[in-house]
């Protein structure tokens, strides 16, 4: 009924019309509600949101994780990756350098944290061109190319080309290359920078020079993990802090 009609009808007649309308509604079996004075948009359901970027990143991470296990491609594994992401989240680095991308598993975890922070950059270096290209494709599919750059070559040499201040270094390449990579980029490490090394349990013998250096010159801690990987069940990372005032 048009609201203009109701404004001129006597009160008794308006009451009769209201009762009649309710009777008709009851006969028709209407089970909904009638809202008076609400704009049309207020009664419409809001559209469902599209799948979030977070979901797409996790999908790619799980795909890479599955492939690494099936093809025996080295990766940190989910247990250590969670800790690595936590360190990135806490430290809020402007520039991360990773030596040893493989097919991008750890880069995806760190890149996701940078995307959550809304700033920062990760340069990840891989010597195997095929694996590096795969890593770049997974990063593109995850929508993280704004935060992650893949460089192909020998990390021992490529780190020397980085001239920007580095506040997070992650070492996950050949064990004997940890020390040369650290020395190649040492002058770019900011005071308070984090240096994280993977596989310090299973690769301890091959990286003795590196471990001796960081434990002597940096504040360094060994963190142990029970991991669920075909090639190792227990391993550790070394978390070291470059001397100097915290940012």
Write down all domains in the chain, each with its CATH number in brackets.
Answer: 72-241 (3.40.50.150)
DSSP 127-152: S-HHHHHHHHHHHHHTT-TTTEEEEE
Give the span between the Cα atoms of 33 and 21, in whole angstroms. Answer: 14
Main-chain dihedrals φ then ψ at residue 222, nearest 5 degrees: -95, 125
Per-residue pLDDT of 132-157, as tens digits, reads 999 999 999 999 999 999 999 999 99
Helix (H, G, I), strand (E, B) or coil at 134: helix
Reading the chain (247 residues) residue by residue, the pLDDT tens digits are: 433 333 334 434 344 334 443 343 343 343 333 333 333 333 333 333 334 567 899 999 999 999 999 999 999 999 999 999 999 999 999 999 999 999 999 999 999 999 999 999 999 999 999 999 999 999 999 999 999 999 999 999 999 999 999 999 999 999 999 999 999 999 999 999 999 999 999 999 999 999 999 999 999 999 999 998 888 899 999 999 999 864 4
Predicted confidence at residue 228, as pLDDT, reads: 85
> For tokens 């559209």, what's the residue?
47
A 10 A CB-CB count for 142 gives 25
pTM of this structure: 0.78
Strands of the chain, DSSP E: 95-99, 121-126, 148-152, 166-171, 189-197, 219-229, 232-241
Calculated CA dihedral for residues 220, 224, 225, 226, nearest 10 degrees: 170
């Amino acid at each position: 009924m048009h609201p203009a009609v109701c404004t001129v009808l006597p009160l008794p007649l308006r009451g009769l019309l209201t009762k009649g309308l309710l009777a008709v509604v009851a006969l028709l079996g209407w089970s909904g509600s009638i809202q008076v004075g609400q704009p049309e948009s207020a009664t419409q359901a809001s559209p469902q949101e599209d799948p979030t970027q977070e979901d797409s990143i996790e999908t790619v991470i799980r795909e890479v994780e599955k492939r690494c296990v099936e093809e025996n491609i080295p990766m940190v594994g989910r247990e250590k990756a969670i800790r690595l992401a936590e360190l990135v989240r806490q430290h809020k680095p402007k520039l991360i350098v990773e030596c040893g991308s493989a097919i991008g598993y750890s880069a995806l975890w760190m890149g996701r944290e940078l995307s959550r922070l809304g700033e920062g950059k990760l340069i990840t270096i891989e010597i195997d061109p095929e694996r590096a290209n795969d890593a770049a494709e997974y990063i593109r599919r995850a929508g993280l190319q704004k935060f992650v750059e893949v460089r192909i070559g020998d990390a021992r040499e490529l780190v020397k080309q980085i001239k920007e201040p580095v506040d997070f270094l992650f070492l996950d390449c050949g064990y004997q290359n940890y020390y040369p990579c650290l020395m190649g980029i040492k002058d770019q490490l900011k005071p308070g920078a984090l240096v994280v090394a993977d596989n310090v349990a299973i690769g301890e013998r091959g990286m003795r020079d590196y471990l001796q250096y960081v434990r002597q010159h940096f504040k360094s801690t060994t963190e142990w993990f029970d991991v669920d990987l075909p090639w190792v069940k227990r391993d550790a990372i070394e978390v070291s802090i470059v001397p100097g005032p915290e940012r």
